[in-house]
Amino acid sequence: MKVDFKSIFPAITAFIAFILTLLCLFAGSQKDLLNNADLLTLYTPEGHSDTAHNFYSVHVMSYCQGVLGTVDAGETSVARNVTECSSRTLLFAFNPTDAWPEEIITHGPTLEWPRVISDDFNAFSFTSRSMAVFYIIGVGAIGFALVSCLSSVITRKAQTGLFEFGFMVLGALSISIASIIATVIAFEFVALINAHGDGSDVSAQYGEKFLGMTWASTALLLVGTISCFINVFVRGYEEQEPEMPVGKDEEEG
């Protein structure tokens, strides 16, 4: 069976976007699973003991914590040493008070923790959870789009192409909204934390790798959706255009 590249191009873009979105969802759920592809990293004051954590990388469904250290003696570059990650939660929202109930808040008078930052995270908890919901909806929609595309290639029925296009639209819309929310958190929320943490040695930094993956997924889905639209509503109807019936006079002639 000869397969036209144009007919499977949306599936190729959707499959790559599917992998990228899964990486965005599951990054940081284990110590060695893309813990550097975080939504943002919160840096806290250094404690008096060797076990105190001084950075927390926040992901979509979990967070990781660890300590900072230099790469080599005599160098100024800093390496992040992840010690552990939290359990994966479907509707996750990072709560700094739960993350370090003993290390920072009750560690001593020299580690004054600005409570306003905890309030900031609580205020953005609904936003974080809604972002996760859109990612999950997007993953499901992309998966159904891939199944529909495979069925469309095999059966060559227009109905399956319509299903494919519908799921592609839903997936592109969901991932686009999730990416917008992630960008708002990365820039606006991080700037808010830095403003409130000024003077307390508390700062935040957004994750460039995460934003790159989520917007790459969004771009691929948008391109795939446009291509799918052309396949279904332009090429599809051109290929299925019925022939003009032959008149009786022509048949008799």
Residue 183, classed as helix, strand or coil, is helix
**Buried b / exposed e across 174-212, counting CB within 10 Å, b at 16+?**
bbbbbbebbeebbeebbebbeebbeeeebebbbbeebbe
The answer to whether position 239 is within a domain reads no
Instruction: Report residue 79 as tokens.
Output: 């390496």
Q: Is residue 176 part of a domain?
A: yes
Of residues 197 and 130, more confidently modeled: 130
Residue 243 lies in a domain: no
92 domain residue, yes or no: yes
Radius of gyration of the chain (CA): 25
Of 13, 64, 14, 17, nearest in space to 37 by CA: 64
Q: Which tens digit of pLDDT belongs to each residue from 185-236?
A: 989 888 988 888 877 778 888 889 999 999 999 999 999 999 888 887 776 5
What is the per-residue pLDDT across 161-182, written as a single tens digit (0 to 9) for each? Answer: 788 888 999 999 999 999 999 9
Residue type, 176: S
Contact 12, 31 (CB under 8 A): no
State both tokens at 231: 């396949």
Beta-carbon contacts of residue 237 (< 8 Å; ≥ 6 apart) = none
Number of domains in the chain: 1
Going by C-alpha positions, the residue among 6, 23, 5, 9 that lies closest to residue 138 is 23
How crowded is the C-beta side of 187, counted as CA atoms within 13 Å? 6
Determine, yes or no, domain membership for 127. Answer: yes
In whole numbers, what is the pLDDT of the chain averaged over residues? 78
Q: Are 84 and 99 in contact (CB under 8 A)?
A: no
Domain membership of residue 140 as a residue range: 5-232
| 124: in domain | yes
Domain for residue 237, yes or no?
no
Q: Give the model confidence (pLDDT) of 51-109 as tens digits.
A: 476 788 899 988 888 887 665 555 555 677 788 888 888 888 888 777 765 555 554 44
Tell me whether residue 40 is in a domain: yes
Beta bridge partners of 64: 57, 85
What is the C-alpha separation between 9 and 183, in angstroms, rounded? 28
CATH number at residue 165: 1.20.140.150
In this prediction, residue 48 carries a pLDDT of 40
